[in-house]
Structure 1
Amino acid sequence: MKSTTIKDIAEALGISVATVSRALTDSYEIKPQTREKVLETARKMKYKPNLLARNLKKNSNNLIGVIVPEIITSYFPELIIGIQEIFNPLGYQVLICQSGESSALERKNVEMLENQQVEGMIVSVSKESKNIDLYKRLIDEGMPIVFANRVIDELEAPKVVIDDRQWAYNATEMIIKHGYRRVAHLAGNFNLAITKQRLEGYLQALDAYKIPIDERLVMYVGIQQEQAKIGVRYLLSLKERPDAIFCVNDPIAIGAMLELKERGIRVPEDIAIVGFTESPTGKVLGLSSVAQPTFEMGRTAATMLLNRIKNPLLEVAETIVLDAKLIIRKDTLIKKKSSAFMAGDD
């Protein structure tokens, strides 16, 4: 059965969503008679008790929920540290949940945080996230939620990201300008927004430099290091092998480097590699990559959430786009002498 939302109550009473929200938060702007009508209707329509309690209580519990896919790589711990830097000095307790890249566990995380009556959530969705309905219900009911890095494009909610499409374009362009013409792409999980956007950037760069798009050079492998092996083995089986590989993230790029080394393929002399994330392991291995402002992304997401907690009637679903940086290292990307597209050319 569909849960009752603030919007449902507003429609039943013929008043605005903002008026219902103000009544539920005990705003001084609402007449006592209106507040009573809203509360009575909310009870009759079985508006979720714990959310009703959250909206009615005058004193906050200072709990913030954070859901990330994993904390094995450095990326999400850095994001969390950025979040904590904003909330901890203000007396908030940050509850951290790990979805393990599972949509089902992500849903359980969200429901647990909802039951804990957190004041808001910051979420980076799992690779198989199918929880649009759950997030939409919570947002409709007034729960402040901010999405960071891995977002759901279909949801109208605050988001903090980088321009994945543009930076994938920049990375692919740099590969081309270093002289590579047969550039492959190891893409992430099909339903992730970052997979789609980075693939689009890669394809746009090829098109801009009039390099024919060969669909055989694109393979969806995933986002975890061990998944790169399948992609590399496939690319090496082609009659015309790629001379460079642009990877969806650093773990895939690192996995690709290790598999190429295992097979006696030299990087970058035989095949160049470029990743996306700028991980500590990638730095040690000399991986060329797109460096994301992970710590700042956490701080920005926390600031956005704090603003929505303090201003619950904000209706603008703002998206903040942070800058990134392309890091080129000779261990994985060198200039090819026979190119018509050398770096620095227009």
Structure 2
Amino acid sequence: MGKQAEITIHDIAKKLGISASTVSRALNNNPLISKATQAKIKETAAKMGYRPNTMAANLRTRKTNTIGVIVPLINRHFFSSVISGIEDVAYNSGFAVTITQSNDSFEKEEKIAQTLYSNRVDGVIVSIGMETTKFNHLKHFSERNIPLVFFDRVVDEIEAHKISVDDFNGGFKATQHLIEQGAKKIAHIGGPLNLNIYRKRLDGFCAAMKKAGLEVDRQMLLHNSLTRTDGTNAIKKLLKNPQKPDAIFCANDTTALSVIIYLVENGIKIPEDIMVVGFSNEPFSEVVTPSISTIRQPGFEMGQKAAELIIEQIKQKNQPSLFQNIVMPTELIIRQSSFKKKG
């Protein structure tokens, strides 16, 4: 059976015995066409299975009403929350959202950026991957006046709106809490230091240690890609140190979970022997045993703000004279993995 031909406005016009230009105007809600005629034409178009040629319309207007989003990992609760916030605002503003993930790969992120550019997205919202240390693929957008908004993992070298959480204070609060619970030998498992979020979390950790008069043991500072495997390898290494930690601040909840699993499997009590705090407030952090103390990030609100900023830029058509650098607050959530005493 052969393919059925695509229905055109000429087919609708022939069916109704009117001109194609009248059909076109009616489908585009032109006020020159009466409401009754518009309704009749739209009803006929729907029955015939007509699909508007948005690609042709996009070529005429040079707009696709599409926002490209690049995130490192879609399956992380934080990034999925940001995506939900973006879609919430974009949908209500008449924009579609194309969601992609780099899997923290620079090569994949570069190819995604090229594809989004080729598909003529109106703007891009991005959080860079762990491997990304060069930014020409993203400069490409700003140099061609295509709006760009960074969130969470931002790029200092590119002028654009940037939205991040207060990573310094998040690291400070997590470490201060461990100190208040009696910890003195605190380790930190952080992410790669080419990303400013992990530098700031480390800085917050060091500031809290300094304020409490505690020494930062460089052997207790480890940096990796923060996967489950990395977390397990990190805790194995820390336990081989002559000075063993009595608390660990992990730069994400995935690492905190793998640390806790390893400690429990090896008969080390949490929080009695070693306290653990994560970062991000992943859904699993509340339901595992022991539940994981962590730092909450306002992902949904970040996504909403990112979408508002990109849509505002798209509608203005020109780059703003002043780009915003928005820092959102974090919240310490205390659970079983770090709670030993009140205070």
TM-score range, shorter chain: 0.7 to 0.9
DSSP-derived class of the 2:68 partner: strand
Q: Does 1:169 align with 2:167?
A: no
Contact 1:128 1:192 in 2 (8 A): no
| 1:320 to 2:326 alignment | yes
Deviation at 1:66, TM superposition (A): 0.4
Unpaired stretches in structure 2, ≥5 consecutive residues: 1-57
Residues 74 and 279, structure 1, Cα contact 8 Å, conserved in 2:
yes
Aligned residues: 283
How far apart, CA to CA, are the structure 2 residues paired with 1:328 and 1:154? 36
The Cα RMSD (Å) is 1.6
Greater displacement, 55-64 / 209-218: 55-64
* Cα deviation, residue 57, structure 1: 6.0
In the aligned structure 2, how far is the partner of 1:213 from the partner of 1:321?
27
Match for residue 304 of structure 1? 309
Cα distance, 1:155 vs structure 2:
2.2
Query: Which one of 263, 267, 270 corresponds to residue 267 of structure 1?
Result: 270
Q: In the alignment, which residue of structure 2 is the partner of 1:249?
A: 252
In the TM superposition, residue 140 of structure 1 has moved relative to its aligned partner by 2.0
Q: 2:182 aligns with which of 175, 179, 182?
A: 179
Q: Which amino acid is the alignment partner of residue 297 of structure 2?
A: Q
Quote the Cα distance in structure 2 between the aligned partners of 1:131 and 1:112: 18
Letter in 1 for 2:325: T
**Do 1:274 and 1:287's aligned partners in 2 also have CA atoms closer than 8 Å?**
yes
Larger mean Cα displacement after TM superposition, 133-142 or 278-287: 133-142
Q: Find the aligned partners of 2:274 and 2:331 in 1 and give their Cα distance.
A: 23
- Structure 1 residue 296 displacement after superposition: 0.7
Question: Normalising to structure 1: TM-score of the pair?
Answer: 0.79
For structure 1, the 5+ residue unaligned runs are 1-54, 337-341
Q: Which of these residues, 67, 71, 74, is aligned with residue 71 of structure 1?
A: 74
Q: Does the alignment pair 1:138 with 2:144?
A: no
After superposition, the C-alpha distances for 1:151-193 in whole angstroms (9 at most, x for unaligned) are 1123221111111011111111111111111010001123111
- Matched residue, 2:237: 234
Distance 1:112 1:59, change over 3 A: closer
Out of 79, 83, 99, the position equivalent to 1:80 is 83
* Alpha-carbon shift at residue 134 of structure 1 (Å): 2.1
- Residue pair 1:107, 1:131 contacting (<8 A) in 2 also: no
- Distance of 2:144 and 2:127 partners within structure 1: 20
Match of 1:123 among 114, 121, 126: 126
The equivalent of 1:332 in structure 2 is 337
Q: Percent identity?
A: 35
Shift of the 225–61 alpha-carbon distance from structure 1 to 2, 3 Å rule, reads same
| 55-64 vs 203-212, greater mean Cα deviation | 55-64
Instruction: Report if aligned partners of 1:70, 1:76 keep a CA contact under 8 Å in 2.
Output: yes
Q: Deviations over 1:175-226 (max 9, x none)?
A: 1111111010001123111111101110111111110121011011222222
Partner Cα separation in structure 2 for residue 242 and residue 147 of structure 1: 36
CA deviation profile, 1:280-324 (whole Å, cap 9, x unmatched): 001112100000111111111111111111123213121111122
**Distance in 2 (alpha carbons) for counterparts of 1:242 and 1:172:** 13
- Separation of aligned partners in 1, 2:202 and 2:70: 26
Find the counterpart in structure 1 of residue 49 from structure 2: none
TM-score normalised by L of structure 2: 0.79
* Partner-residue secondary structure (3-state), 1:128: coil
Deviation at 1:261, TM superposition (A): 1.3
Which stretch shows the higher mean deviation, 217-226 or 202-211?
217-226
Structure 2 letter corresponding to 1:302: A
TM alignment of 1:21-40, pairs within 5 A: none
